[in-house]
Amino acid sequence: MAVLLLVMGGSVRAHAGATLFLEEPYSYDGTFAGTGHTAVYLSRVCAESPLLLRRCKPGEQGVVLSRYHGVAGYDWLAVPLIPYLYAVDSPEKVPLYADPKLEAFLRDRYRRKYLEEIVPDVNNGETPEGPWIQLVGAAYDRAIYAFEIETSAEKDDELIRLFNAGPNKGAYKLLSANCADFVRGIVNFYYPGALHRSVIADFGVTTPKQIAKCLVRYSKHHKQLKYTNYVIPQVPGTIKRSKQVRGVVESAFKAKKYMVPLLVWHPAIVGCFAAAYLTGGGFDPGRHALVFDPSRDLEPPMSAEQRREYQSRLDLVSRSIVEDDERPETVKWPRLEATAEPELDEAGRPILRLRLGDNPVEVGVVRENIVSESESPEVARQLLLVRLHEELRRSARISPTVVGNDLQLLDELRWSRSENPRVAEASESPSSGSASKLR
């Protein structure tokens, strides 16, 4: 079965399609509403600019379209897939780990390079606040469930013509023209009537979860269409984890702060909510989902047995690292992270510059530079340990290949000091004394 899924996963990117992104809620949405956000990814359509669509050229990965509220007065904006997810322009620059400072740094770098005409600096030259941050780096804030169904080249070309010729003025309305209504319109353009509102489960409001459920149901009734679903994991790090996505009635019914007082004073109302919730039926967006990684094909998620095996391996490696770092004054990651400032290396890949005592130390945070560019392998190991512990949480969705590669990086960092010229140079410099605290 695993082999079959691998074959299926390897072929997913071979055909073009429209993919509904069901994005988990975070921040205020996660606390109060819980309905999340939705966008549509078109693998054959690309962006000449955020406001102009075209057919993709060979090697391009498509574009993400979504409706936004309060971004330069536009109704929709188009962003290439990798920047939309990670705020960088290529998979090899995607960080292994992110904190709020790195997230903000990468978003602003991308804004200044590609989006400044739409989102200019504020008067003092600083980064503006506002909803523009939803345009790039979505996978830092939340996990995303993806539901892809094939499209035809002819319909893609027609969609491009319609979007480029039509008006693009802000049309957002929470109850009747929200992000889910926008995506519903695009999918229904390809397959009329495929997606619709739910009067019972959402009181007639279009929600991201409802239209995702509709697309899954539509694919089951039209088995001749190529279809797949996968999950894009939230990037590990200290950014708060996103929450489970819900519909309108589901959000209210599962919120104790609302339901407990109603149960005491108006039990009949609670009964109505319960009936509406049960009638709507359960929907698990991650059921049978493959796992997305920007540098490889879709893969099956880690099984419980694999998770236990990798956890045992990580425990052994962690104990070995503790034995290597014998000094009791070894600085731990939370204190190191507090001093870290994001920068880019010569190849434009993210690094962190942090302080050990009075000395600056650079640590790579992508696969291609965490070994070669890290002046302190010990610090880099701590970063990877944090990432691995996050990946091996019971609720995390990750592929075993990714975890295996992370363990391999961790092993390479254990033996990298003598082979890394930057590390050797740092060790020989007069200011390297504080770095030895981690040895």
Check whether residue 211 and residue 311 sit in a common domain: no
Check whether residue 213 and residue 316 sit in a common domain: no
Residue at 424 is within a domain: yes
Check whether residue 138 and residue 12 sit in a common domain: yes
Please state, as a whole number, how many other Cβ atoms lie within 10 Å of the Cβ of residue 54: 16
Check whether residue 336 and residue 290 sit in a common domain: no
d(CA 235, CA 340): 18
User: Number of structural domains, the chain?
Assistant: 2
Residue at 159 is within a domain: yes
Check whether residue 127 and residue 210 sit in a common domain: yes
Check whether residue 162 and residue 237 sit in a common domain: yes
Check whether residue 290 and residue 354 sit in a common domain: no
End-to-end Cα spacing for the chain: 45
d(CA 186, CA 192): 9
Check whether residue 186 and residue 316 sit in a common domain: no
Check whether residue 202 and residue 333 sit in a common domain: no
Task: Give the domain range for residue 311.
Answer: 302-438
What's residue 357's pLDDT?
A: 77
Output DSSP code: residue 300: P
Tens digit of pLDDT at every position of the chain (439 positions): 343 343 343 434 445 799 999 999 987 654 546 789 999 999 999 999 999 999 999 999 999 999 998 899 999 999 999 999 999 999 999 999 999 999 999 999 999 999 999 999 998 889 999 999 999 999 999 999 999 999 999 999 999 999 999 999 998 998 889 999 999 999 999 999 999 987 666 667 899 999 999 999 999 999 999 999 999 999 999 999 999 887 655 554 454 444 444 344 445 544 554 555 555 556 899 999 999 999 999 999 999 999 999 999 999 888 877 666 555 445 678 888 989 999 999 999 999 999 877 889 999 999 999 999 999 998 999 999 999 999 998 778 899 999 999 999 999 988 765 444 444 444 444 444 433 333 3
Query: What pTM, to 2 d.p., does this model score?
Result: 0.86
Check whether residue 177 and residue 320 sit in a common domain: no
Residue at 103 is within a domain: yes
What is the per-residue pLDDT across 221-279, written as a single tens digit (0 to 9) for each? Answer: 999 999 999 999 999 999 999 998 876 555 544 544 444 443 444 455 445 545 555 55
Check whether residue 289 and residue 333 sit in a common domain: no
Check whether residue 229 and residue 363 sit in a common domain: no
DSSP characters for 377-431? HHHHHHHHHHHHHHHTSTT----HHHHHHHHHHHHHHHT-TTT-HHHHHHHHSGG
Residue at 174 is within a domain: yes
Label residue 261 exposed, middle or buried (CB < 10 Å: 0-12, 13-18, 19+): exposed
